[in-house]
Amino acid sequence: MPDPADNTLIDRYRNLVARIKTAETQYGRASGNVSLVAVSKTYPAEDIRAVAGMGQRHFGENQIQDAMAKIPLLTDLDCIWHFIGSIQSNKCRDIAHHFDWVHSVDRLKVAQRLSSLRSEDRQPLNVTLQINLQNEVSKAGITPESVVELAQEISQLPNITLRGLMAIPAPETNFAEQRSVFRQLRNIMENINQCLGLELDCLSMGMTNDLEAAIAEGATHVRIGTAIFGPRRKK
C-alpha cells in the first residue's frame, strides 16, 4: 500500500507501478503482461509530461474536448492515446484521428463511423467493446447477450481491429466479488472467440480500487487515474 506521505506525482506513479508488478507476480501473470493506461482526464498536459518522463506511454482520456486541449501540446512524446469515454457521433472524427485505442465502443453505428473516418495509411484503430455486466441502467455498454452479434459485425470493419472487451463494474470492496465480475468478462470474451473463431486477447478492466482483482482474472489493460494523478475535482 502506498505510504500516505508519498504524495507527489512521481511517488504515486512509482507506487502504482510496484502495485501492478506485485499483483502480476502474485497471480502468476508474466511480468509486463499488464499494460498500464494512465487515465489523465481532467489533469493538465504538464502532469502527463511528468508521468511520460517516467517512461509511461499509454494515456487514457474520456472527453474529447479535454483531450484535444492537451494532445497537440504533447506530440513530441510518442504517447499512445486511449479513448475511454462515451462516444457521440459528432466526436468520431477527432477520436479516429487522434487516438490509437477506443475502449468504449458499444454500438455498430459508432464503430462504422470510426472505421470510415480512420485514415487508411494509419494502423487500424484498436477497439474493445464495452460490456454492461450488471445491467446498470445508468451505464453505457452492450449487454452480454447481444455482444456476439456486435462483435461479429465489428470484426468485419476495415480500419478497426477488434481486440477484446472492456467493463466498468459497480463499485465493490469485496475482493472475491470483484474477481467474480471480472471473471464474467473473461468468460464472455472466450465465448465470443469460440462462437466466431476470433482471437480476441485484450481485457480492459481494473481501476484504482480493483486492479488486483482484475489482474488476477486476466486483465491486459488496467485503466488507472486516481492512484497516479490524485483525486479529481468534482465538476
Ligand X SMILES: *Cc1c(COP(=O)(O)O)cnc(C)c1O
Binding site for ligand X (CB under 6 A): 39, 41, 62, 84, 168, 207-208, 223-227
CB-nearer residue toward ligand X: 98 or 193: 98
Nearer to ligand X, 7 or 194 (CB): 7
Exposed/middle/buried for 21, CB within 10 Å: 0-12, 13-18, 19+?
middle
**Pick 62 or 126: Cβ nearer ligand X:** 62
* Minimum distance, C-beta of residue 58 to ligand X, in the bound complex (Å): 12
Residue nearest to ligand X (CB): 225
CB of 194 vs ligand X, minimal distance in Å? 27
Q: State which residue, 111 or 219, has the beta carbon closest to ligand X.
A: 219
Identify whether the C-beta of residue 57 lies closer than 8 Å to the C-beta of residue 48.
Answer: no
Q: Can you tell me the distance from the alpha carbon of 51 to that of 48, in angstroms, rounded to the nearest whole number? A: 5
Cβ of residue 210: shortest distance to ligand X, in angstroms?
A: 9
Contact 38, 224 (CB under 8 A): yes
Residues whose CB falls within 8 Å of the CB of residue 84, separated by 6 or more in sequence, listed in order: 37, 39, 41, 60, 61, 62, 103, 104, 166, 223
Beta bridge partners of 105: 129
Nearest-angstrom CA–CA distance, 42 and 235: 10
Nearer to ligand X, 216 or 229 (CB): 229
CB of 95 to ligand X, least distance (A): 14
* Minimum distance from residue 106 beta carbon to ligand X (Å): 12
CA-CA-CA-CA torsion sign (106, 110, 112, 116)? negative
Say if residue 79 is exposed, middle or buried (CB neighbours under 10 Å; 0-12, 13-18, 19+): buried
Taking the complex as a whole, how short is the minimal distance between the CB of residue 220 and ligand X, in angstroms?
Answer: 14
Residue 189 contacts residue 163 (beta carbons within 8 Å):
no
Rank residues 75 and 174 by Cβ distance to ligand X and give the closer one.
174
Q: 137 with 100: CB under 8 angstroms?
A: no
